[in-house]
């Protein structure tokens, strides 16, 4: 039998209905003569998003709240808080001599805190390195600003995995930097397989996401404001703190968002540059799904991740009420 | 105009659905990284006209999840012993029709009804090997005989461990004098503590699997926990390296070829398994990946070069001190929890 | 002096961004397989690149998915943007939340949620599922690049066209589309690049049988990357550079500038 036709029949029906609705709506909205209902153009998209964004999210919530047999449970969240929760229950069942093993497990919380800490460090480093870069780029005295933007974009178009692996070539014990050091008569240093290497990889990958929004908000700024400030007697530093910095705040906030969010969930960089010695929250989620095959716990972790991100986003929104930010490139 | 649009959409629907199916002359093979000779695959296609879709996995655990989630994607899979046991238990495998695998006669008869596949219906042995220590003789003094070197402060930042749950915990258990298949949480906990201490002491440089062999060749670390074939590959490229199965004993394993129950091309899968069991093909694979072959006729073909190699052809004494991994069933939950504790320590 | 400091700083940052790329390109000309040792100049990896079935297949998957997903997302997204723009306040807010949601979701959660959807509904993962996933994460970006152009447009042009007897579909193609075309093109390009570069979502929505460049590189990264992949990325780098120069030339030509 042809395997792919063994889709459950309700899926086929759903797909068919979906396509039929798609066509009908498209025809209907184009055909309408009185033109008021232009909003119908959005209906294919609405259907699409319901099917591929809302339903999947609901499924994650479903798995997070059920056990392997599909019965409702909160154990996945208990397991998040105390990573030994299920195992402790097993020990209790096995007998009193194993009670010594019962203790609270801090694996998940530990990894979450570590990820947040690394993401925070990465964001701060990106901000410290990126702000001056964006500021200098936006400087009108430097005429090559637009070329610089292009120069910053080009690396992002190369596969980020390959770029990260190239760092490995540089950092290894027998890599380029150490070979160079040794030929100069220095001792070789351990550069890879630690937190610093992971941080370096993260900063390297996310720095442009900090530079662009700040750059955009700085170039949007009205240069007359600066002139006015200086006419009124403010010195450079003063102008910067009182005029430039506040006006570039939306860019900074959107930069922070764009660096912090992906940093928390990276899962490739720690494995390559950190040698699997450290785990970030992304690794943990991936591990639960693809190595342990524990969808329920994995879904619970994903859900927690999502909620955390939504909370931090709304906090950042507060700081930037217009919500426009520097925007994307 | 509009009719044409609808027709196109319907046509698209029809095209989309069966695209994954239509499988004449294809066999989907799911194997370990670096675990077969490309020439053997080419030869198979040349002789049978069947196209091989070749896919890789890194550890048994990754493989198992993938096969569970999309069982019909694969026609031949190469799991290890304890995983075959697990898969039989989960009813994921289909019995092999041995009438289509005449080359089974060349396989060592001692391996044909193994404990992991007691009826011998589900698997054909592909390769076997041991777990041991690969070390750089210029960096490690004296012949290594014990797992203790892996936990020795002297080799700080100089040890590659295997990013594989059973192998790492198994070695620690063995070093402590326990069985690799223990079902006693206290013993397991001691092994966990040992591995955490090893990591906290800064002895472990990295946890990895397939990267290790090339890095050992390059001299990135002094010691590594490896499978025998990877060791032989590395020794071939760097004569400073040596491989040992420590005195405390270790793991001996067999990787078999199995057919998932939902496989779409069972006949081709059997053809493939038979082909891989042919002596000359088994020899090709063995010369490429340096593991031990269960194929008696292939060993005849390779002669003394194979027989004299202790890594590939360990003595009976070494084999006797090793044990097979068994499926630990629901105990895996405890393993998983402890493993994450080690990895995030 | 101050100018020098500024330029020096920017040069340093750019050096940081380009070092690995330079290393990568140099490696692609290395005769040996080793990552760190230089063993002479050679073009062998370039010739092997075109013989490597796996890489060529992955390249085909990557490019075809990027093209199809970008076009599909652009059509879907442009229509949606026009629709959303015409909506009243409340439904508009709902739609915008739905559009922003996938953009704020971490890639890994998007990938996993789609993997769950496909497995749950017993759709085999592979080319089609990867394509669906790419369209899904691309579309919101298209909407967000088209919407600003719609806001800039004069509200009454469309109604005027209708009053003058144009059918809605005619008005759509001949009045609205030309006005928003810069946004549509930006969206298309954005979708194309996003899809080209995606790793995480592809990783979760495909099977080992169908690999794009990212997932292929990821599986190779474990064994030590092959120099052929370096050669491929050097070529892609060159292609992008040329493309960018052409675009820049066009953009600096005032007659053709947007």
ipTM confidence score: 0.85
- CA dist B315 → A8, B245, C163 (Å): 54, 11, 94
Q: How far apart are the first and last CA of chain A?
A: 50
Distance from CA of B65 to the nearest CA of A (A): 6
Distance from CA of C209 to the nearest CA of B (A): 6
C9 in a domain, yes or no? no
Report the alpha-carbon distance of residue A230 to residue B25 in Å, rounded: 78
Residues C154 and C122 in one domain: yes
Best of A39, A43, A167 to substitute, by most chain C Cβ atoms within 10 angstroms, is A39
Residues C92, C180, single domain; the answer is yes
Cα–Cα distance measured from residue B135 to residue B231, given in angstroms and rounded to the nearest whole number: 9
Average pLDDT of the residues of chain B: 89
Contact B225, B168 (CB under 8 A): yes
Q: Is A279 on the interface with B (CB under 8 A)?
A: yes
Strand-by-strand arrangement of the B51-57 sheet: B51-57, B26-32, B76-77
Cα-based torsion angle of the residue sequence C180, C183, C184, C187 in order, rounded to the nearest 10 degrees = -160
Q: Does C132 touch chain A (CB under 8 A)?
A: yes
Taking contacts as CB-CB distances below 8 angstroms, the residues of chain B near A292 are 61, 65, 336
Helix (H) or strand (E) holding B333: helix B332-343
CB neighbour class for B261 (10 Å; exposed up to 12, middle 13-18, buried from 19): middle
Question: pLDDT by residue (tens digit) across C213-250?
Answer: 889 888 887 666 678 888 888 888 888 788 777 776 66
C90 reaches A (C-beta below 8 A): no
Any B CB within 8 A of A176 CB = no
pLDDT along chain A (329 residues), means of 10: 43 68 66 60 87 92 91 92 90 88 90 94 96 86 72 81 86 84 85 91 93 88 80 82 86 90 86 87 91 92 90 78 44
Are C96 and C215 found together in one domain?
A: yes
Same domain, C211 and C114: yes
Q: Which residues of B touch C224 (CB under 8 A)?
A: 211, 214-215
The residue in chain B having the minimum alpha-carbon distance to the alpha carbon of residue C209 is: B55
What pLDDT is recorded for position B11?
47
The total number of structural domains in chain B stands at 2
∠ CA C215-C220-C226, nearest 5°, is: 125
Q: Are residues B123 and B137 in the same domain?
A: no
Q: In chain B, whose CA is at the least distance from the CA of A101? A: B186
- Verify that C78 and C150 share a domain, yes or no: yes
- In this structure, the strands spanning B51-57 and B26-32 are parallel
Residues C187 and C115 in one domain: yes
List chain B residues with CB under 8 Å of C118: none
Q: How far B178 CA lies from chain A's nearest CA (Å)?
A: 17
Rounded to the nearest 5 percent, the helix, strand and coil shares of chain B are: 50, 20, 35
Same domain, C86 and C170: yes
Cβ pair C219:B211 closer than 8 A: no
Domains of chain C: total:
2
Of C87, C168, C193, the CB nearest to A157: C193
C35: in domain:
no
Q: Please give the structure tokens belonging to residue B95.
A: 């019995």
- Give this prediction's pTM: 0.86
Q: Is B1 on the interface with A (CB under 8 A)?
A: no
Distance CA A120, CA C117 (A): 32
* DSSP element (H, E) containing C91: helix C89-104
Q: What is the rounded CA–CA span in Å between residue C108 and residue C116?
A: 12
Instruction: Identify all chain A residues contacting B156, using CB atoms and an 8 Å cutoff.
Output: none
DSSP secondary structure string for all residues of A149-176: HHHHHGGGGS-HHHHHHHHHHHHSTTSH
DSSP string computed for A270-303 = HHHHSTTSS--HHHHHHIIIIIS--HHHHHHHHH
Give the model's pLDDT for residue B20: 40
Domain co-membership, B150 together with B246: yes
CB-CB under 8 Å, B264 with A3: yes
The answer for residues whose C-beta is within 8 angstroms of residue A280's C-beta and 6 or more apart is A111, A114, A115, A118, A198, A264, A265, A266, A267, A270
Residue A63 within any structural domain of the chain: no
CATH number of the domain at A235, please.
1.10.3720.10
B69 touches chain C (CB under 8 A): yes
What is the least distance, in Å, from the CA of A309 to any CA of chain C?
8
CA proximity to B270, closest of B259, B255, B281 = B259
For residue C65, the chain B residues in CB contact (below 8 A) are none
In this complex, how many residue pairs, one in chain B and one in chain C, have their CB atoms less than 8 Å apart? Answer: 46
Taking each helix axis from N to C end, the angle separating A160-171 and A195-220, rounded to the nearest 10 degrees, works out to 130
Residues of A in contact with C240 (CB under 8 A): 154, 157-158
C34, closest residue in chain B (CA to CA): B218
Reduce the DSSP state of residue B161 to 3 states and report it. Answer: strand
Q: In whole angstroms, give the CA distance from residue C27 to residue C38.
A: 8
Residues B243, B169 within the same domain? yes
A321 CB burial (10 A radius; 0-12, 13-18, 19+) = exposed
Does B124 share its domain with B134? no
CB-based contact, B53 to chain C, within 8 Å: yes
**A299 domain-assigned:** yes
> Do B205 and B260 fall within a single domain?
no
A226 touches chain C (CB under 8 A): no
Assigned token pair, B122: 């589900």
Domain assignment of residue C236, yes or no = yes
Report pLDDT for A327. 40
Q: Is residue B12 part of a domain?
A: no
Structure token digits, residue B151: 């936990």
Interface contact flag, A264 C143, Cβ < 8 Å: no
In-domain check, residue C191:
yes
Q: How many CB atoms lie within 10 A of CB B323?
A: 16
Residue C35 and residue A42: Cβ atoms within 8 Å? no
State the smallest CA–CA distance between residue B174 and chain C in angstroms.
Answer: 28
Task: Tell me, yes or no, whether B154 lies in a domain.
Answer: yes
* Residue A299 touches chain C, beta carbons under 8 Å: yes
B118 and B206 in a single domain? The answer is no
Domain assignment present for A262: yes
Residues C133 and C164 in one domain: yes
What 3-state DSSP class applies to B149? Answer: helix
Q: Provide the token pair at C220.
A: 């190779």
Owning domain of residue A129: 108-319
Q: Please, which residues have CB within 8 angstroms of residue C149's CB and are 6 or more apart in sequence?
A: C179, C180, C182, C183, C184
B44 and B81, same domain (yes or no): yes
Is residue B21 less than 8 Å (CB to CB) from chain A?
Answer: yes
Give me the residues of chain C with pLDDT under 70, please: 34-37, 222-225, 248-258
Q: Please report how many Cα atoms fall inside a 13 Å half-sphere around the Cα of residue A166, on the Cβ side.
A: 28
Do C231 and C46 meet the contact criterion of CB atoms below 8 Å apart?
A: yes
Q: Are residues B337 and B262 in the same domain?
A: no
Q: Tell me if A195 is assigned to some domain.
A: yes
Residue C201 inside a domain? The answer is yes
For chain C, the maximum distance between any two Cα atoms, rounded to a whole number of angstroms, is: 74
Grouping H, G, I as helix, E, B as strand and the rest as coil, residue B225 is: strand
Amino acid C163: pLDDT: 84
For A176, which of C23, C133, C171 is closest by C-beta distance? C23
A89–chain C Cβ distance below 8 A for any pair: no
Domain limits at B175?
129-250+321-343
Q: Provide the H-helix boundaries in B201-249.
A: 212-217, 228-237
Q: Are residues B142 and B209 in the same domain?
A: yes
Closest CA to A109 of A101, A119, A117, A99: A117
Alpha carbons B57 and B34: distance in angstroms, whole number: 10
User: Are β-strands B223-227 and B159-162 bridged in parallel, bridged antiparallel, or unpaired?
Assistant: parallel
- How would you classify the pairing of strands B204-208 and B223-227? unpaired
CA separation for the pair A35, C29 (Å, rounded): 61
Residue B40 lies in a domain: yes
Q: Are B312 and B290 in contact (CB under 8 A)?
A: yes
Q: A21 to chain B: which residues are within 8 Å by CB? A: none
Note the residue count of chain B: 345
Specify which residues B242 forms β-bridges with: B135
Task: Name which of C46, C20, C51 is nearest C31 in CA terms.
Answer: C46
A294 found inside a domain: yes
Same domain, C168 and C253: no
Q: What domain count does chain A have?
A: 1
Residue C149 falls within a domain, yes or no? Answer: yes
Closest B-chain CA to A27 = B2
Contacts of A83 in chain B (CB under 8 A): 337, 340-341
**Residue of C129, C145, C164, C168 to mutate for A, most A C-beta atoms under 10 A:** C168
Task: State how far residue C54 is from chain A, nearest Cα, in angstroms.
Answer: 17
d(CA A84, CA A65): 18
Chains that touch B (3 or more CB pairs under 8 A): A, C
Write down which chains contact chain C via at least 3 CB pairs under 8 A.
A, B
Place of tokens 């760097």: B238
Residue C125 zone, left/alpha/beta (φ > 0; ψ -120 to 50; rest): beta
Same-domain check for residues C132 and C190: yes
Burial environment of residue A151 by CB neighbours within 10 A (0 to 12, 13 to 18, 19 or more): middle
The answer to whether B6 contacts A94, with C-beta atoms less than 8 Å apart, is: no
Query: In chain C, which among 178-197 make CB contacts under 8 A with chain A?
Result: 190, 193, 196-197
Same domain, residue pair C233 and C130: no
Domain CATH for B284? 3.40.190.10
Residue B327: CB partners within 8 Å, gap ≥ 6?
Answer: B82, B83, B85, B86, B89, B116
Q: Number of A:B CB contacts under 8 A?
A: 106
The reply to whether B118 and B190 lie within a common domain is: no
The residue range of the domain holding C204 is 60-225
What pLDDT sits at residue B145? 92
Domain contains A324? no
Q: How far is C206 from chain A (nearest CA, A)?
A: 13
Residue B238 and residue B336 in one domain: yes
A36 vs B123: CA distance, rounded Å: 67
Pairing, β B26-32 against β B76-77? parallel
Which pLDDT score is estimated for B168? 95
For residues B134 and B224, membership in a common domain is answered with yes
Burial of B7 (0-12, 13-18, 19+ CB in 10 A): exposed
First-to-last C-alpha distance (Å) of chain C: 37
Q: Could you say which of A48, A150, A298 has the minimum Cβ distance to residue C244? A: A150
Tokens of C81: 């943007």
Per-residue tens of pLDDT for chain B, all 345 residues: 445 555 554 444 444 443 444 445 899 999 998 899 999 999 999 999 999 988 888 889 889 988 988 888 899 999 999 999 999 999 999 999 999 999 999 999 888 888 899 998 999 999 999 999 999 999 998 789 999 999 999 999 999 999 999 999 999 999 999 999 998 999 999 999 999 999 999 999 999 988 898 889 888 899 999 999 999 999 999 999 999 999 999 999 999 999 999 999 999 999 999 999 999 999 999 988 889 999 999 999 998 888 888 888 899 999 999 999 999 888 888 999 999 999 988
Integer-rounded Cα Rg, in Å, for chain B is: 22
Do C84 and C202 sit in the same domain of this protein? yes
Q: Is residue B106 included in any domain, yes or no?
A: yes
42-61 in chain B: CB under 8 A from chain A: 59, 61
Is B339 a member of any domain?
A: yes
Using CB atoms, which residue from A59, A142, A313 is nearest to C116? A59
Chain A positions in Cβ-Cβ contact with residue C3 (cut-off 8 Å): 141-142
């Amino acid at each position: 039998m042809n395997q792919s036709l063994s889709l459950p029949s309700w899926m086929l029906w759903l797909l068919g209905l979906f396509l039929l609705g798609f066509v009908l709506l498209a025809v209907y909205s184009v055909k309408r003569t009185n033109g008021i209902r232009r909003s119908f153009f959005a209906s294919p998209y609405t259907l699409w998003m319901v099917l591929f964004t809302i339903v999947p999210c609901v499924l994650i919530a479903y798995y997070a709240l059920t056990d392997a047999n599909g019965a409702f449970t909160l154990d996945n969240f208990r397991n998040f808080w105390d990573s030994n929760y299920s195992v402790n229950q097993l020990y209790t069942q096995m007998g009193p001599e194993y009670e010594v093993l019962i203790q609270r497990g801090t694996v998940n919380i530990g990894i979450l805190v570590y990820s947040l800490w690394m993401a925070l460090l990465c964001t701060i480093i990106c901000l410290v390195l990126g702000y001056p870069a964006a500021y200098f780029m936006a400087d009108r005295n430097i005429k090559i600003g637009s070329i610089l933007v292009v120069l910053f974009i080009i690396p992002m178009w190369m596969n980020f995995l390959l770029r990260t692996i190239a760092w490995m070539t540089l950092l290894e014990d027998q890599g380029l930097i150490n070979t160079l050091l040794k030929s100069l008569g220095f001792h070789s240093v351990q550069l890879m397989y630690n937190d610093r290497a992971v941080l370096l990889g993260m900063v390297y990958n996310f720095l442009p996401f900090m530079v662009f929004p700040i750059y955009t908000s700085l170039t949007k700024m009205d240069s007359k404001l600066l002139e006015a400030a200086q006419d009124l007697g403010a010195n450079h530093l003063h102008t910067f703190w009182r005029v430039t910095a506040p006006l570039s705040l939306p860019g900074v906030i959107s930069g922070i968002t764009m660096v912090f969010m992906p940093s928390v969930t990276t899962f490739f960089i720690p494995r390559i540059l950190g040698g699997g010695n450290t785990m970030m929250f992304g690794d943990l989620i991936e591990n639960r799904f693809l190595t342990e095959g524990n969808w329920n716990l994995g879904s619970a972790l994903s859900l927690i991740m999502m909620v955390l991100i939504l909370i931090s986003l709304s906090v950042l929104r507060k700081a930037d009420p217009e919500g426009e930010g520097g925007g994307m490139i | 105009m509009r009719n044409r649009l609808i027709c196109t959409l319907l046509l698209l629907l029809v095209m989309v659905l069966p695209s994954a199916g239509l499988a004449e002359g294809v066999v989907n093979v799911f194997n370990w990284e670096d675990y077969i000779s490309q020439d053997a695959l080419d030869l198979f296609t040349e002789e049978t006209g069947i196209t091989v879709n070749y896919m890789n996995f890194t550890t048994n655990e990754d493989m198992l999840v993938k096969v569970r989630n999309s069982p019909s994607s694969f026609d031949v899979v190469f799991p290890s012993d304890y995983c075959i046991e697990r898969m039989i238990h989960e009813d994921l495998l289909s019995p092999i029709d041995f009438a289509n695998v005449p080359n089974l006669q060349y396989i060592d008869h001692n391996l044909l009804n193994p404990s992991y596949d007691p009826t011998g219906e589900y698997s054909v042995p592909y390769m076997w090997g041991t777990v041991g220590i690969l070390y750089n003789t210029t960096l490690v003094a004296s012949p290594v005989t014990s797992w203790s070197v892996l936990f020795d402060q002297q080799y700080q930042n100089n040890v590659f461990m295997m990013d594989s749950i059973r192998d790492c915990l198994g070695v620690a258990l063995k070093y402590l004098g326990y069985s690799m298949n223990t079902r006693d949480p206290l013993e397991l906990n001691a092994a966990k503590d040992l591995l955490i201490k090893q990591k906290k002491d800064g002895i472990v440089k990295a946890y990895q699997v397939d990267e290790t062999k090339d890095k050992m060749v390059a001299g990135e670390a002094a010691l590594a926990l490896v499978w025998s074939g990877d060791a032989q590959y590395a020794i071939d490229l760097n004569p400073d390296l040596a491989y040992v199965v420590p005195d405390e004993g270790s793991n001996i394993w067999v990787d078999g070829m199995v057919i998932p129950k939902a496989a779409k091309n069972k006949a081709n899968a059997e053809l493939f398994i038979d082909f891989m069991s042919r002596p000359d093909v088994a020899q090709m694979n063995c010369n490429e990946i340096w593991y031990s072959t269960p194929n008696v006729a292939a060993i005849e073909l390779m002669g003394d070069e194979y027989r004299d190699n202790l890594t590939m052809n360990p003595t009976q004494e070494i084999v006797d001190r090793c044990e097979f991994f068994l499926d630990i069933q629901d105990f895996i939950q405890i393993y998983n929890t402890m493993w994450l504790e080690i990895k995030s320590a | 002096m101050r100018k020098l400091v500024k330029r020096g700083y920017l040069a340093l940052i750019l050096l940081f961004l380009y070092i690995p790329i330079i290393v990568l390109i140099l490696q692609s000309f290395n005769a040996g397989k080793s990552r760190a040792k230089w063993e002479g100049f050679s073009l062998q990896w370039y010739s092997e690149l075109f013989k490597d079935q796996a890489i060529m297949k992955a390249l085909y998957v990557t490019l075809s998915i990027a093209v199809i997903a970008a076009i599909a997302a652009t059509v879907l997204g442009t229509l949606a943007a026009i629709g959303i723009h015409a909506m009243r306040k409340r439904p508009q807010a709902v739609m915008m939340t739905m559009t922003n949601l996938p953009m704020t979701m971490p890639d890994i959660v998007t990938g996993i949620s789609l993997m769950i959807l496909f497995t749950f509904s017993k759709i085999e993962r592979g080319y089609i599922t990867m394509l669906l996933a790419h369209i899904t994460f691309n579309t919101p970006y298209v909407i967000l690049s088209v919407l600003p152009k719609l806001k800039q447009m004069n509200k009454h042009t469309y109604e005027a066209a209708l009053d003058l007897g144009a059918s809605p579909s005619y008005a759509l193609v001949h009045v609205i589309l030309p006005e928003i075309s810069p946004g549509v093109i930006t969206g298309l390009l954005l979708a194309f690049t996003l899809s080209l570069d995606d790793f995480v979502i592809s990783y979760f929505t495909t099977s080992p049988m169908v690999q794009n460049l990212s997932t292929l590189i990821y599986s190779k990264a474990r064994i030590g990357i092959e120099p052929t992949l370096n050669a491929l990325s050097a070529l892609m780098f060159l292609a992008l550079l040329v493309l960018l120069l052409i675009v820049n030339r066009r953009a600096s030509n005032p007659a053709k500038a947007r």
